[in-house]
Structures are given as structure tokens and as C-alpha cells.
Copies of this chain bind each other. A is one copy, B any other.
Amino acid sequence: VDSPFRLQTWLSTFSACLHSSSCRLFFPEDPIKIVRGQGQYMYDEQGAEYIDCINNVAHVGHCHPLVVQAAHEQNQVLNTNSRYLHDNIVDFAQRLSETLPEELCVFYFLNSGSEANDLALRLARQYTGHWDVVVLDHAYHGHLSSLIDISPYKFRNLDGQKEWVHVAPLPDTYRGLYREDHPNPAEAYASEVKRVVSSAQEQGRQIAAFFAESLPSVGGQIIPPAGYFPEVAEHIRKAGGVFVADEIQVGFGRVGKHFWAFQLQGEDFVPDIVTMGKSIGNGHPVACVATTQAVARAFEATGVEYFNTFGGSPVSCAVGLAVLDVLEKEQLQAHAACVGSFLMELLGQQKAKHPIIGDIRGVGLFIGVDLIKDEATRTPATEEADYLVSRLKENYILLSTDGPGRNVLKFKPPMCFSLDNVQHVVAKLDAILTDMEEKVRSCETLR
């Protein structure tokens, strides 16, 4: 294993190679034209097969025949709005409720995770009578105006921070304020939320909600320390706000142990609002907001109806039901736990071998590989991550990066991702990292 010093040397040399036209290691990538998808595979025009490690929308696998069939059967019969009664919407709500704590028993159906988070915001404001929102740093909650306002990942590059938005530190125990060596990072990060709330209140602001992805993804595949959410919820509820768990990227069994990622935070923890999207329809535009009767009643009390043209249509609900059927029938939640553990294990071996790997974190099939330039500073190895991703693409493996430093490889594949896929992908990763190390050494020799 290379020492920290050696690591830094080869990485800085490597970066120089990347930008030197003579070395030609880094080339502008051609975008891929994908024409077909099946299970965890995608196929380009030439018929080349790619392993898809990133598409958490194709949750039960690209073009799953049971989901496709369910859509087709319902499309042939009826697809209209929820102004008419239909069994599918009732069945779908019923099935979803079986996966959730019983308090979360009211469901709104929509077309996208963004629509779901926007409705969550409206529900929170109506219920609490407050306006302000606390979010985690680097968070992304959607592409709508209202959500860009609560997404530091976006608003830092646009209009800036609104006076009603308050940013708490990301509970990142690898790069954040409190790290793996802290005795109680959950409490420490929750105290930061409390501090943010108090400071807002001192300015006369009132908190409507705390929004967080149950596992912050754009933030860099972060696994908040267990117990963090319950403590945050306590602080937020004391301030009169509600807790919104954004499960758009991570729900529906992806974390393996549980059906919902917020359940990793403690068996008894219940958010006030849960938002769902992406995976819920395996690519069909469906989304959902689940909440308590109390929140729903406050929303109804305005007397203003909530109507969503496509939301909760018989087709959307048929598709959602089929996804739940497949998850059960193919035991994909248990599968994600098993395959995810194996991937974590093999990646752990790679970490021991390749010093560019600073951290491996994850649960189920939601895993991040944090690439660093230096063990001491943990400086993000952004260009190296980018290069690695393009080399993997040449090897027909689709992976991408995330995190503020765009240096975290993110694994969030279709849930049918197999043990063989794990072995194949990690072997390629190993080979490319080894090759990168060798190229650096030969670059050094040439100098």
C-alpha cells in the first residue's frame, strides 16, 4: 500500500497528465446513444451491453415485463383523472400504507418527485402556519422554483439564499464538522440543526419544516449517523415545524434492511411527511406524498382542492402496484441487502489496495466511493473520478459521480444488480485504478 506521501505525488502528477495534450489520457467523452434496456443492462446502437450502476429510476430493472404489462393492460382500458372513483388508486394507497408506520396514512399522488416535494412544502406551511425551511447543505430537492429555493446545491449558483431558508451542516462523518472519531456525531449534528433553528428564531423567523433526503445523495452518498433524524425531529417539532423525509432516491427497499431509508434512523422514528418519486414507477412518471391525518386535515381545511391532472391515474397506480408486486415476488429488498454487502466488501478490499479510495460508505444498493488526493486533507480527487468514470464507460460500465467535490462514485443500480455484476465491476475498477497508477509511474519516469 502506498503511503499518503506517495499517493499525493502520483495524484498531482496524474492531474498534470490529464491536462497535458501530449499524454492524451483525458479525452472529451462522446455521449452514449442507448436504444434498449433490460434488467440492469443498457444497449447502444451497436448492440454493446453496458452494466447500469446508477439508474435508480429503473428500480426493478429496465423494462421489467410485469411492469410493462401492467401499464399496457391499464392503458388499453382506462387512463383518466382522479375525479372519478377507481380501485387502483385505493389499492395503491393501501399497499403503500402497509410499508409505512401507521401514522402515515394519507396519500397524494403526483407525477414527479419535484411535484411531491413542492406539495410537502405546501402541506408543512399550511399545517404549521409557519413559512421557513431548514435544509442540509448541498441538498437537492427538485427542479421547481420552490425547490431550488431549498436546494443549496442549486441556489448557491443562482439567485442565492432566500431569507426563509436556513442551511444546517451535512451530517457527513467523513468530511463534515464531526467525523468518525467524534463520540456522538448524531447528537452533535442534530445540535447544529438546533443552533440553526434558534438563530432563525432570534431573527423572528418561524420554522415550517426540516427537509432532508433520508440518505443525502447529491451531497455525496451520505449515511447520516443513526439517531440523527429523531433528535433533529425533536428540535424541529419543538420549534413548531414538521420533519419531511425525502425518499425519492432511496426508498422502496434500496437500503435492504428496511423498506424506507428513514427507518435506518431508529425503528420508532416517524417523519411527518414522506415524499416518493423515481423508483416508485420504474420510469413511469409517478410520485407520492404520504402524511398524517393531522397534516392532511389542516390542508383540507383551506377548502381549496388539490387536483393533479395525471396524478393517481389508473395507469400510474397500476404501474406502482406492479413495482410493489415485483419487489415482493423477486424479494429485491433482501437481494439489495445481500448484493450491497458483497459490493461493500469487495470495495473495502479495493480501498486497502488503492490509496485514492478514501472512504467506502453505503447501505444496501446505495453506496459511495469517496476518491481523495490525500489521506490527511481528504481533498476530493475530482478529475481522477471523472477520468475513472470515462474509463469505466469504455469498459461498458455506467457509473457517475456526485458530492460537492464531484469525487464520489455513486452506486445506485437497478435492484436486480447481481453478485456477478459486483465482481465484474470491481475487477474493472481495480484494473483501471492499477493502470492509472502505472501510467503515473511512467509519466514520472519520462520527466
Q: How far is the CA of A285 from the CA of B115 in the complex (A)?
A: 12
Residue A48 CB within 8 A of the other chain: no
Q: Is the CB of B157 within 8 A of A144?
A: no
Name the interface residues of A148-176: CB closer than 8 Å to any CB of B.
148, 154, 157-158
**Which of the residues B37, B111, B315 comes within 8 Å of A79, measured between beta carbons?**
B37
Tally of this chain's copies: 2
Q: How many residues of A contact B (CB 8 A)?
A: 60
**Which of the residues B62, B157, B285, B303 comes within 8 Å of A303, measured between beta carbons?**
B157
**Which of the residues B32, B75, B84, B85 comes within 8 Å of A71, measured between beta carbons?**
B75
**Which of the residues B31, B75, B81, B112 comes within 8 Å of A84, measured between beta carbons?**
B31
Residue A284 CB within 8 A of the other chain: yes
Q: Is the CB of A86 within 8 A of B308?
A: no
Q: Is the CB of A57 within 8 A of B81?
A: yes
Most central of A310, A313, A316 by chain B CB within 10 Å: A310
Q: Is the CB of A115 within 8 A of B144?
A: yes
Given contacts A118-B145, A143-B307, A285-B111, contact A57 B32 (CB under 8 A): no
Given contacts A79-B37, A80-B42, contact A85 B145 (CB under 8 A): no
Q: Is the CB of B68 within 8 A of A72?
A: yes
Name the interface residues of A281-320: CB closer than 8 Å to any CB of B.
283-285, 302-304, 306-310, 313, 315-316
Chain B neighbourhood of A86, CB < 8 A: 33-35
Q: How far is the CA of A79 from the CA of B62 in the complex (A)?
A: 7
CB distance from A91 to the nearest CB of B (A): 14
Q: Is the CB of A154 within 8 A of B80?
A: no
Q: Is the CB of B31 within 8 A of A85?
A: yes
Q: Is the CB of B63 within 8 A of A77?
A: yes
List 7 other contacts, CB 8 Å, given A32-B85, A144-B144: A37-B79, A42-B78, A57-B310, A63-B79, A112-B310, A118-B144, A122-B145
> Can you list 27 residue pairs at the A/B interface with Cβ under 8 Å?
A31-B84, A33-B86, A35-B86, A37-B77, A42-B80, A55-B80, A55-B81, A58-B80, A63-B77, A63-B78, A68-B72, A79-B283, A111-B112, A111-B285, A114-B115, A115-B143, A118-B144, A121-B145, A122-B145, A122-B148, A143-B306, A146-B146, A154-B304, A157-B302, A278-B309, A283-B315, A284-B285
Chain A residues with CB under 8 Å of chain B are 31-37, 42, 55, 57-58, 62-63, 65, 68, 71-72, 75-81, 84-86, 111-115, 118-119, 121-122, 143-146, 148, 154, 157-158, 277-278, 283-285, 302-304, 306-310, 313, 315-316
Q: Which 4 A-B pairs have the closest CB atoms?
A: A285-B285, A79-B283, A285-B310, A145-B146
